[in-house]
Amino acid sequence: MNTLLSAQQLEQGVDDLAACIRRDYASRPLTVVGILTGSIVLLADLIRRIDLPLRVGLVQASSYRGGATRPGELRINDDLLPDVSGRDVLLVDDIFDTGHTMVALVEQVKRHGAASVRTAVLLRKQGRQEVDYTPDYIAFDIPDEFVVGYGLDYRDLYRNLPYLAALEADELDQSTPREQGV
């Protein structure tokens, strides 16, 4: 595992995101919606830095399952989404990869009647975008590597790392102890 961003760099990136969001929304009420599960660490850190009247909600979206390192079919569950009708909404995600998830979620939230929808991501993976969309707030651009830590996982591991690391190819091929029956 190679460290790409230290805990201190991540903290500064979240501080910068929060400052831009506070500036752009001034004192307007905001509904911040985290995209489960990868955004939970970012969401928690970000909302503590946004000194605005805000509500928090969640939506579940996944195109990676099990040990997959490439996206598959996108599944969205918006049962935890609060009423966003007439509200300014900020969608928060861990990583902007191909962009399909973010585009689908922006459209979903608009269908629920949001007054406006903006997006914030911790990471934008370079060279992977397959859609004509750019998140409104981006903390870091990273190379096209499989990354873990700060909420991002591989086979449900590594989310708790306080830094961001890239897994090597041989680490991606290893099975976890749980899968080995341990």
Residues marked active site are found at 97
CB 62 within 8 A of CB 84: no
Question: H-helix or E-strand containing 100?
Answer: helix 100-111
**Residue-wise burial string across 83-102, b where 16 or more C-beta atoms lie within 10 A, e elsewhere:** ebeebbbbbbbbbbbbbbbb
Angle, nearest 10°, between helix axes 40-47 and 7-25? 60
